[in-house]
Amino acid sequence: MRDAETEAATRSARRAWLLSAPALALLFFAASGPLLIVLVYSFLAPGTYGNVVWEFSWDGWVSILYTRDIFDGTLKLADAHLTIFWRSVKLSLMTTLITFAVGFPTAWFIATRPPQQRAMWLFLITIPFWTNLLIRTFAINEVIRNEGLMNTVLIKLGLIARPIQLVYTDTAVLIGMTYVYLPLMVLPLFAAIDRFDMRLLEAAHDLYASRMAILRRVILPIVKPGIIAGSILVFVPSLGAYVTPRVLGGGKNMMIGNFIELQFGQGRNWPLGAAISMTLLVIVMGALLVYVRVANRGSNPHG
């Protein structure tokens, strides 16, 4: 009896693997496998016209932080690279903070609507989420660029004499990313708040907790998994953003994503590009790992 059961389980597991095999094979061919190639490329020497020369070299990794002086071969800290890294981290953190500041009240608002209305508000937040990122970036560009809606209206109203230059600045990239990633913050926050028993608030109030105390001691701890999920969902794509900084930041306000592309294009330093890609991947995986750990610990908020 026991044997028959084990055998059935083994057969079932084998069938599961067989059924999953085509998906796994395609993903290995066109997603995971190529990542290994990037790892290998980061340890090779750059070719003169792009691509690589098949000899081992640390140069790709070294040149993330340092540039080699072409005359005496000494290493100097690569200021330009550090600026790009710093800009990416700074803008991604600020995007996360602003989307939270705006997203939390929005998610709260949606979660406290009557049930029939809630579906409508959720749908309204989901449409921009699924709308082509490029289209949304175009849309925000139409509003903030020099001849755009915002400047035209402000000039017509006589508030400003000449257009405010926003496009091709870090601020424009920040506005763009906040706009584009806001739904990614609102959705997990909503999910967390939605599960929240509003009677707890009344209980806290009855026990003479102030509004601040209710927010800090009752709401935040319970909503924490949603906050972390939202922050990760916004921070991770912000850090690797390519389209938004390219369209709104122009050539001078690159982020890591554009810098990677540059190395595979005009920069012709594939090993450096590969090394930065791996660095970005490691940072993102680290963030996700932290998320999984915290989320698992926080999965039972009442326990």
Partner 1 sequence: MAERSFSASYLPGFATVAIVAFVLLYLPIATLVTFSFNAGKSVAVWEGFSLHWYGDAWKNQAIKDATVRSLVIASFAAAIATTLATMAALATTRRKAFKGQTFIYVVINQPLMVPEIVTAVALLIFFAQIKVATGYQGLGYLIVAHSAFCIPFAYLPIRARLEGMDLTLETAAADLYATPWQTFRRVTLPLMAPGIAAGAMLSFVISLDDVVITEFVKSGGQDTLPTYMLGQMRRAITPEVNAISTALLALTVVLLTAFFLLTRKRT
Region from 29-37, 62-70, 74-82, 294-302 binding partner 1, contact rule CB under 8 A: 29-37
Non-local (6+) Cβ contacts of 9 within 8 A are none
Residue 265 exposed, middle or buried by CB count within 10 Å (0-12, 13-18, 19+): exposed
Non-local (6+) Cβ contacts of 278 within 8 A are 38, 39, 42
Contact 255, 47 (CB under 8 A): no
**Which residues inside 152-181 make contact with partner 1, applying CB under 8 A?**
152, 179
CB of 14 to partner 1, least distance (A): 9
Instruction: Give the one residue of 7, 24, 83, 290 binding partner 1; rule: CB under 8 A.
Output: 24
CA distances from 141 to 12, 127, 173, 248 (A): 54, 19, 10, 7
CB of 183 to partner 1, least distance (A): 8
Structure letter (DSSP) for residue 56: E
Instruction: Give the one residue of 201, 222, 294, 295 binding partner 1; rule: CB under 8 A.
Output: 201
CB of 109 to partner 1, least distance (A): 3
- Nearest to partner 1 of 68, 205 (CB atom): 205
Strands 44-46, 66-68: pairing is unpaired
- Nearest to partner 1 of 166, 260 (CB atom): 260
**Which residues inside 33-72 make contact with partner 1, applying CB under 8 A?**
33-35, 37-38, 41, 51
- Nearest to partner 1 of 78, 236 (CB atom): 236
Say whether 52 sits in a helix, a strand or coil.
Answer: strand
- Nearest to partner 1 of 78, 92 (CB atom): 92
Instruction: Give the one residue of 67, 148, 168, 191 binding partner 1; rule: CB under 8 A.
Output: 148
Instruction: Tally Cβ neighbours within 10 Å of residue 16.
Output: 10
Build a one-symbol-per-residue string for 221-240: x at contacts with partner 1 by CB under 8 A, - elsewhere. Answer: ---------------xx-xx
Instruction: Give the one residue of 83, 117, 131, 210 binding partner 1; rule: CB under 8 A.
Output: 131
- Nearest to partner 1 of 32, 165 (CB atom): 32
Does 142 sit near partner 1 (CB under 8 A)?
Answer: yes
Region from 75-83, 86-94, 164-172, 282-290 binding partner 1, contact rule CB under 8 A: 282-290
What distance in Å separates the CA atoms of residue 179 and residue 102, rounded to the nearest whole number?
Answer: 10
- Nearest to partner 1 of 68, 215 (CB atom): 215
Contact 200, 166 (CB under 8 A): no
Instruction: Give the one residue of 90, 211, 217, 293 binding partner 1; rule: CB under 8 A.
Output: 211
**Which residues inside 82-121 make contact with partner 1, applying CB under 8 A?**
102-103, 105-106, 108-110, 112, 121
- Nearest to partner 1 of 75, 131 (CB atom): 131
Residues 161-171, buried b or exposed e (16+ Cβ, 10 A)? eebeebbbbbb
What distance in Å separates the CA atoms of residue 101 and residue 242, rounded to the nearest whole number?
Answer: 24
∠ Cα 203 208 211 (to 5°): 85
Token representation of residue 71 = 């005359």
